[in-house]
Structure 1
Amino acid sequence: MKTLFSILILFIALPDYVCTQNAKTISIIPKPVSMTVGDGEFSITDKSVIYCDTEAQKVAKFLSSFLQKPTGYKIPIEVKKDTRNRKKGILLSISKKYNLPEEGYTLEVDNDRILICASDAGGLFNGTQSLRQLLPSDIESENTVRSAKWTVPAVSIQDKPYYKWRGYMKDVSRTFYSIDVIKKYMDAMALYKLNTLHFHLTDDQGWRIEIKKYPELTSKKTTTFSAKYNQPAERSGFYTQNQIKELVAYAVERNITIVPEIDVPGHVWPIILAHPELGVNDMRTPDYVVPFLTSWSYWGFQFTPNPLDPTKESVYTFLDNIFTEVAALFSGKYIHYGGDEVVHRLWESEEHVKEFMKEKGFTKVEQLQSYFVNRISKILLEKGKTPMGWNDILNDEENLSRDVAIMSWLGDVKSAVDKGFKTVATPSGYLYFDITQDDRNDGTMTDLAYGNINSIKRIYNYDPRASLGEKEKDLVLGIQANMWSAIAIEVKDMNVQNFPRLLALSEIAWKPLADRNLQDFYSRLENHYPRLDRMRIDYFRKGGYITGKWSPADLSTDYKPLEWDITKKVYANGRAIAGFYYTNGQNFMDIRKVQLLEDGRVISEDIHQGLADKQRDTSLPKTYLYNLQVDTYNPNAKYTLRAEVAGKGGTDSYGNFTFNLSPYKPFTVIEPK
């Protein structure tokens, strides 16, 4: 008991981070609350054994399985009652007697043993992820690394999270991703102790979850983009209920809760296609789902032109049936129902809606939305779930049930917590990872409609609790980053948007602002790039996809070819985007043809009239982007990009040429340094 008592006293009394000089070589992210580094190291060998108590068996099995692939060792597990008191081995123990915080843990390493203790399974799992980061980066390899030495430095760590909700949102409606991609993301989330995957399953671009009562929701026209949009087949589809169960089980093993989102009453185009009688008007065009960027050409904006009709009882019966199935599939506490970006004028323009509002005594359309939200919330509460919606629904907060949790993307959390709502902070001004992280002209696939730059520094210095009173702080459930898949569609592009920003997210979710150090984080971050390399996860590098430049000396007012050697940028079979980003000068640049050459032979080309100009609006075509592909990659060939260009009305034009190849098979190869 003396050792345990000492741990608890240390947990309470130590400043936020304690370390010796040797700790500079240890780069755990998120940084532990306290850590001391001792002498010596523990070696994991083919003779190692994991000892655990009964409560720790699941985590022990996970750890043994994880270690087997890179080490080649099948590490046995022995269940013992006195695990914590053993002198040798890898020891895992869970007990309420330890009185450790929720998801907190202690990790002790010396020459003879590794001891991880926690009061719950989540804390024990978090301890194993710190152990994972103490091992060489080769531990992330998919194949056995025979030459590696699997040593763990002697340390003493006491750790606990700042926020309970440490989340990441994956939008699988605008672009569908396979369960293998989702699993890979959960692997990365687990490594960095992120514990909530917000699963945006439905939107105007597709319904992505099987509902057995309504199979028409996953018909071809509600899940598959038309061939005329030239979208790869893997961007369409849906998850069967068995696949959802598989993902939920995979998440639970990794201390992750999946929060499903069924977005209503706006963003419901697939519902309207399958059940037009549930819409508020007669709008039915087009009779299939379309890619996000095509929405404007049909509707004049990106929002559903036919939201659900809040006056119809059939709408609530329909949604009740859907949420019955959703609630049974997901084991977590929360179900997200969206509620954002409803075009209220589409309700207000209907006579039957006006009459309904009059009958209910509603004087403004926001009251009608609250009526809808409260009806849906009641449905979810009756199923034992806590309802959650985007903070758009706060426009009529006085009529909104406090049983609803809020996800704050517009502005900050203050408008929600001041009114007594529990909330998750996910502001677009800091934590939208589809927004540029460095340079708006670097060719990375970002939503350039936003003017802000969500850099590592900006993210790292964000804390939604910083300006709140103590009572309001308690209402902040946590923090989450969102990745919308409208622009960054390819998995490689999505990875570049998410990493390393996801690591910054993990640290600000784990530590309060007062206990962070940006320069120290940058230093530790450098040691995580090799780890991401082993995981075959691409990440952002300064300069983005900039491969070359043009200047007045390169141009004529007559078309002429410009060429760039892109051999180092072609490294696998895949789809590629060549971009021409005007940066300054009196003249734009016309483009009429772009070709990809392999040893002087054209292997792909895109012929269309383009203009390298200032246009960055999401809703307008970016004609300065050209699509190419590599189908028979030759590692010994020279690859060249040739573009036929001309100065428009003059040659005073400067810009960046960008080139980005996304492998057909994600997570198999990364772009060379």
Structure 2
Amino acid sequence: MKVINLFALLFLLGCVVSCSQPESGITNESIAIIPLPDSYELKPGTFYITGQSSIGIDTSDAEMAALANYFNEKISDATGFSLPVGNSGTIVFQLGDYKELGEEGYRLSVLADKLVLNAYKHHGIFNGIQSVLQLLPAEIKSKEIQAHTTWSINCVEITDTPQFAWRGLMLDVSRHFFTKQEVKRFIDQMAEYKYNVFHWHLTDDQGWRLEVKSLPRLTSVGAWRAARVGNWWEREPQLPTDSLSYGGYYTAEDIREIVEYAQQRYVTIVPEIDIPGHSMAALSAYPEISCTGGPFQVNVGNTFYTKTENSLCAGNERTFEMLDSVFTEVTRLFPSPYIHIGGDECYKGFWEKCPKCKMRMQKEHLKNTEELQSYFVKRVADMIRKKGKQVIGWDEILEGGLAPEAIVMSWRGVKGGIEAAKQGHSVIMTPTDHCYLDFYQGDPIVEPNTYSMLRLQGCYKYQLVPDSVDASLIMGGQGNLWTESVPHYRQVEYMVWPRALAISETLWSDAQSRNWKFFVHRVEQQFRRFDLSGVNYARSIYDPIILPHLDKENRLKIELQTEVEGLNLFYTFDNTIPDVYSNTYTDTLTVPKNASMLRVAAYKGQKQAGRLIDITIEDLKKRAMEPKK
């Protein structure tokens, strides 16, 4: 089955739009579009899509014809019919002089006898199609039901434009390799929620994933490592007897295919070659561009930082010659105007001892290794600029001085973004506290192992533009998925959805329109679609939240919360499994004498909504004594 068909059902379970705005108190429960449109108003009547419906476009416009085909492919598996395309139809996609809508905005008018989607540019039509697909209400369960189903949308007027131009998701394919088909699936999913940038983290200590024909060892050596499981940073180092069979890479042909696939969905792929740090995979292939000469191995998830070199030698001319070859290939393969060069977490200890780096510092009159890193970044940025691209780097590229025209991606909070903006540089906001999708999203005792917490609500409440910053310099933001604890694509989906729904809305919709309760309602509509399309999303928002603390007498007290409204919490201390007949949580709990275990379950009505949380009293005491973040 084609990838595009896997998602045909995804959009066909939406709800219709009613008239009042969500700020007025969620009387408008029928709209299920994510991200929320700028404005929407219900009109009398219903529009029906049947086998007799048709799509009207300018048939001389090849790009519009491709959009009509995209719409047909999305609905045909679920409806059982494909709509004819001609110069006129009951469903109309058309461009016009709607400059106020910009590159990506659209205007949707659904009347009883016609659905008209207008935009200034084709990208706007594509975004409008996503909203139309989310408005379709039918739930397909079998071919037999298909034949007797009428597809309808309540009449509605929508005008919609994005708040930010950069709306991205990052996928790390270095820690774990994901296939070409899985990357396409990721792009398809993000496009359905109006993301327009796929940040592709292609290289790191654990694998080099991009074929560079002039440097074949980057993939023949740097793309492979020994297989390991277990917690990241606790793994056994690679042994000489290990089979180096774990990994993979994308050929130039793969890249071109994926780039074309993304372009058809109006997604720009921004490749990242992470330098000068995070380069152990490259050093394993070409140890001559290191300070020490190696030998090196592709990292398997064992600790090494500060002990084993993983930064390219900044004093070696061969380093820059090889990088020129790499970025020449990157420029050839990726039409994006941007190239991300990383620049983060560069350990400089080996530079400080390296004769070549010392000579470079002396020759260039550099005071310290921070300025040496700045020299490195500026030199690479100039190299990339001459190839017609603009450099993006993590906020560490500020250290020692920022390269001209460089864009800063602020991840260590918003401080780096504020500093860069005050220097007149463009900024992409992606602070860990709101945008790192590799963090826990529920209680750590039932979630994959990681190191910090980011619940759905934490993603949703993020405000991108800090006070006292020129808003025009904030290009937008993105969610980042680092994959240390994400060994396969099913887990990618689990970590990304539904938190990426929240980030999508923070990037597209006006912050003044945010309403958590209304957002949760729309998320739950997406859950129904995810179920039918086989997306492995997280339901962590229904899990109990357990908050232990010590009172003034050093006694353990436990508060219970829920992330969403409408749930009841039931608990036990007697080692039995709680249900609706167990103790109902109403106020702070005191632990009974000799109790060894707390069990908590969340229910919506008579049905358990979240996972059962089992935690020992000893573990609760440890949590209570941990420093508050």
Question: Normalising by the residue count of structure 2, what TM-score does the alignment of the two structures yield?
Answer: 0.78
Match of 2:191 in 1: 190
Deviations 1:471-515 (A, max 9, x none): x21111101000011013232333222111111011000123222
**For the structure 1 residues 167 and 583, does the alpha-carbon distance in structure 2 shift closer, same or farther, using more than 3 Å as the test?**
farther
Which aligned pairs between 1:67-146 and structure 2 lie closer than 5 A? 67-78=75-86, 80=87, 88-96=89-97, 99-136=100-137, 138=139, 145-146=146-147
Separation in 2, partners of 1:335, 1:586: 45
Cα displacement string for residues 331-373 of structure 1 (whole angstroms, at most 9, x for unaligned residues): 2111101111100122112233223212211112111111111
Partners of 2:228 and 2:498 lie apart in 1 by 35
Letter in 2 for 1:47: Q
Indicate the residue corresponding to 1:410 in structure 2: 412
1:304 and 1:47 map into 2 onto residues whose CA distance is: 67
Deviation at 1:580, TM superposition (A): 11
CA distance in 2, matches of 1:215, 1:490: 26
Other structure's SS at 2:53 match: coil
The 1:395–1:155 alpha-carbon spacing in structure 2 relative to 1, beyond 3 Å, is same
Instruction: Name the residue aligned to 1:401.
Output: 403
Q: Letter of the 2:408 partner, please give it.
A: I
Q: Pairwise mapping of residues 169-188 of structure 1 onto structure 2 (< 5 A)?
A: 169-188=170-189
Q: 2:29 matched to 1:28?
A: no
* C-alpha distance in 2 between matches for 1:21 and 1:261: 42
Query: One-letter code of the match for 2:392?
Result: M
How far 1:387 sits from its partner (Å)?
0.8
State whether residues 437 and 454 of structure 1, in contact with CA within 8 Å, keep that contact through their aligned partners in structure 2.
yes
Unaligned runs of 5+ in 2: 1-18, 236-242, 546-569, 577-611
1:619 equivalent in structure 2:
none
Match of 2:598 in 1: none
Q: Displacement of 1:40 after TM fit? A: 2.0
Distance 2:573 2:248 in 1: 44
Q: In structure 1, which of residues 230, 233, 239 is the aligned counterpart of residue 250 of structure 2?
A: 239
Residue 384 of structure 1 aligns with an amino acid whose one-letter code is G
Matches within 5 A, 1:425-464: 425-441=429-445, 443-448=446-451, 450=452, 453-464=453-464
SS in 2 for 1:25: coil
Which residue identity lines up with residue 212 of structure 2 in the other structure? I
Whole-Å Cα distance in 2 between the matches of residues 17 and 319 of structure 1? 51
Supply the distance in 1 between the matched residues of 2:56 and 2:308 (Cα, whole angstroms). 56
C-alpha spacing 1:587/1:49, structure 2 compared with 1 (3 Å): closer
**Aligned residue type for 1:479:** G
State whether structure 2 residue 277 is matched by structure 1 residue 266. yes
Task: Sort the Cα spacing of 1:425 and 1:358 in 2 relative to 1 into closer, same or farther, 3 A.
Answer: same
Deviation at 1:143, TM superposition (A): 12
**Distance (Å, rounded) in 2 between the aligned partners of 1:615 and 1:206:** 38
Aligned to 2:380: 376
- In the other structure, the counterpart of 2:46 is 41
**Which string of whole-angstrom CA distances, capped at 9 and with x for unpartnered residues, describes residues 279-330 of structure 1?**
1223324x3x2332x2x1xx256x9623111112211111111111111111
Q: Please say which of residues 180-189 and 16-25 is displaced more in the overlay.
A: 16-25
CA contact (8 A) 2:465 2:474 kept: yes
Consecutive unaligned residues of structure 1, counting only runs of 5 or more, are 1-13, 81-85, 555-578, 589-611, 617-673
Please state how far the C-alpha of 1:584 moved relative to its aligned partner: 2.9
Question: Residues 593-672 of structure 1 correspond to what in structure 2 (within 5 A)?
Answer: none
Aligned equivalent of 1:323, options 320, 327, 333: 327
Whether 1:57 aligns to 2:65 is yes
- Residues 518, 550 of structure 1: CA spacing in aligned structure 2 closer, same or farther, 3 A cutoff? closer
How many aligned positions are there? 535
In the alignment, the residues of structure 1 paired with residue 427 and residue 124 of structure 2 have an alpha-carbon distance, to the nearest angstrom, of 23
Q: Is the 8 A contact 2:205 2:310 kept in 1?
A: no
Structure 1 residue matching 2:225: 3-state secondary structure:
coil
> 1:23·1:36 contact (CA, 8 Å) conserved in 2?
no
What is the alpha-carbon distance in structure 1 between the residues aligned to residue 25 and residue 351 of structure 2? 64
Compared CA separation, residues 492 and 245, structure 1 to 2 (3 A):
same
Give the equivalent residue in structure 1 for 2:468: 468
**Rounded Cα–Cα distance in structure 1 between residues aligned with 2:419 and 2:500:** 26
1:486/1:141 CA distance change after superposition, 3 Å: farther
Give the distance between the partners of 1:141 and 1:208, measured in 2 at CA: 41
Distance in 1 separating the partners of 2:141 and 2:263: 20
Tell me by how many angstroms 1:402 deviates.
2.8
| Aligned match of 1:541 | 539
Given that 1:208 and 1:223 are in contact with CA atoms closer than 8 Å, whether structure 2 keeps it comes out as: yes
- Name the CA distance, whole Å, in 1 between partners of 2:294 and 2:251: 29
Structure 2 match to 1:254: 265
Cα distance in 1 for partners of 2:484, 2:133 equals: 34
- The answer to whether the Cα contact below 8 Å between 1:500 and 1:539 also exists between their aligned partners in 2 is yes
Contact 2:272 2:339 in 1 (8 A): yes
* 1:160-218 Cα deviation digits (max 9, x unpaired): 00010010000000011112211222222111101111000111111111111112111
Spell out, residue by residue over 1:54-77, the C-alpha distance to the aligned partner (whole angstroms, 9 max, x if none).
442222221122222222212222
Structure 1 residues 15, 337: CA separation in 2 closer, same or farther (over 3 Å shift)? farther
Shift of 1:464: 2.0
Q: Cα–Cα, structure 1 residues 138 and 328, in superposed 2: closer, same or farther, change >3 Å?
A: farther
For the Cα contact (< 8 Å) 1:129–1:191, is it kept in 2? yes
**Residue 205 of structure 1 corresponds to which residue in structure 2?**
206
CA distance in 1, matches of 2:356, 2:625: 42
**Residue 299 of structure 2 is aligned with which of 278, 290, 307?**
290
CA shift at 1:48, angstroms?
A: 1.8
- Structure 1 residues 36 and 265: CA distance shift in structure 2, 3 A: same
Please name the residue that 1:641 is paired with.
none
In structure 1, give the amino acid aligned to 2:478. Q
Residue 549 of structure 1: CA displacement?
Answer: 11
Q: 1:249 to 1:235 in 2, by over 3 A?
A: farther
- Who is 1:629 aligned against? none
- The answer to which of 423-432 and 17-26 deviates more is 17-26
* Mapping of residues 445-594 of structure 1, within 5 Å: 445-448=448-451, 450=452, 453-469=453-469, 472-542=470-540, 583-585=616-618
The residue type paired with residue 330 of structure 2 is: V
Give the aligned partner of residue 215 of structure 1.
216
**Matched position secondary structure for 2:458:** helix
* Secondary structure of 1:117's aligned partner: strand
2:587 aligns to what?
A: none
Rounded to whole Å, the distance in 2 between the matches of 1:162 and 1:417 is 18
Q: Secondary structure at the match of 1:68?
A: helix
Letter in 2 for 1:124: I
Q: How far does the alpha carbon of each residue in 1:133-153 deviate from its partner, in whole angstroms, 9 at most, with x for none?
A: 001364799999445432122
- Could you tell me whether the CA contact under 8 Å between 1:463 and 1:513 is conserved in 2? yes
Asked if 1:334 is matched to 2:367, the reply is: no
Q: Given the two structures, how large is their TM-score scaled by the length of structure 1?
A: 0.73
C-alpha distance in 1, partners of 2:573/2:244?
A: 39
In the alignment, the residues of structure 1 paired with residue 345 and residue 143 of structure 2 have an alpha-carbon distance, to the nearest angstrom, of 42
The answer for the alignment partner of 2:550 in structure 1 is none
Per-residue CA distance 1:112-134 (angstroms, 9 max, x = gap):
11111111111110000000100
Whether contact under 8 Å (1:50, 1:64) holds in the other structure is: no
2:359 corresponds to 1:355? yes
Deviation per CA, 1:255-281, whole angstroms, max 9, x where unpaired?
Answer: 111110011111111211111111122
